[in-house]
Amino acid sequence: MSVKEISRNKVFGGWHIQYTHQSDTLNCDMRFAIFIPHNATQSNPVPAIYWLSGLTCTDENFMQKAGAFGKASELGIAIIASDTSPRGESVANAEDYDLGQGAGFYLNATRQPWANHYQMYDYVTEELPNIVETNFAVSNIKSIAGHSMGGHGAITIGLKNPDQYRSISAFSPICNPINVPWGQKAFSTYLGDNRDSWLEYDSVELLKKSRSVLPILVDQGDLDGFLTEQLKPETLIEAANLNQSPVQVRMQSGYDHSYYFISSFIDEHIQFHAKYLFAD
């Protein structure tokens, strides 16, 4: 599948490049960004971290604010940031910030009119990696990470596809969406009233069902304004403890929900993933 370059910036010896492409999965034009480190060549493809952003974000938020390129360049890791939803005039939308465009929740919608475009789970797990591995010096060795809604996406996708990823990390993830307002609103809209279908997109429920075979690192700020009502990391800890899943949740004192928080610990997350991306 062809991709069209729309911007390019050299950074830490590598390149940050934005592309658009026609998505067969989402039935619309999509944009993503990729950081390609200086050592990536066709004969030496590099492993990758796929980043999923939160509500209202695009591919630009993480790439511009997280400060991830220095460590990624040092270690020789590509970073791919997808958009958070399908976009366009023909794509269903909502007036609320936490639903519709910018709020795809990384699931496959089954209700109309959302099902026509909102197939973000398939896009992240199938179409986007195929595009990246076909067009760039990036291998199929990959990990997944994200923030807030994207943290929810990273954990659920990683748990459901342990053969595709080496490790999972998240900042401030929506841990138990079936029991919080953001998740209940999105799931009832995209998936309908059958709550059994919601369980497949809930990190806590997935961890209750089976032990994670992938290592998971979660950072959460204790001054996050969404901590109590929307994020509930204690539910993730409880679920992980049921069958001794390798989940580390770190509560970081004084930090909030912002990219100031992410940029403070992103190097540690990249180093965490590197341990598994470069393992034999």
Task: Tell me the catalytic residues.
Answer: 148, 224, 257
Instruction: Provide the β-strand partners of residue 199.
Output: none
Number of H helices, E strands in the chain: 10, 9
The string of DSSP letters for 46-61 reads EEEEEEE--TT--SHH
The encoded tokens of residue 280 equal: 């034999």
Q: Are 51 and 83 in contact (CB under 8 A)?
A: no
Q: Are 255 and 172 in contact (CB under 8 A)?
A: no
Edge-first strand listing for the sheet containing 165-171: 4-11, 14-23, 28-36, 78-82, 46-52, 138-147, 165-171, 216-221, 247-252
Buried b (16+ CB within 10 A) or exposed e, 188-198: ebbbeeeeeeb
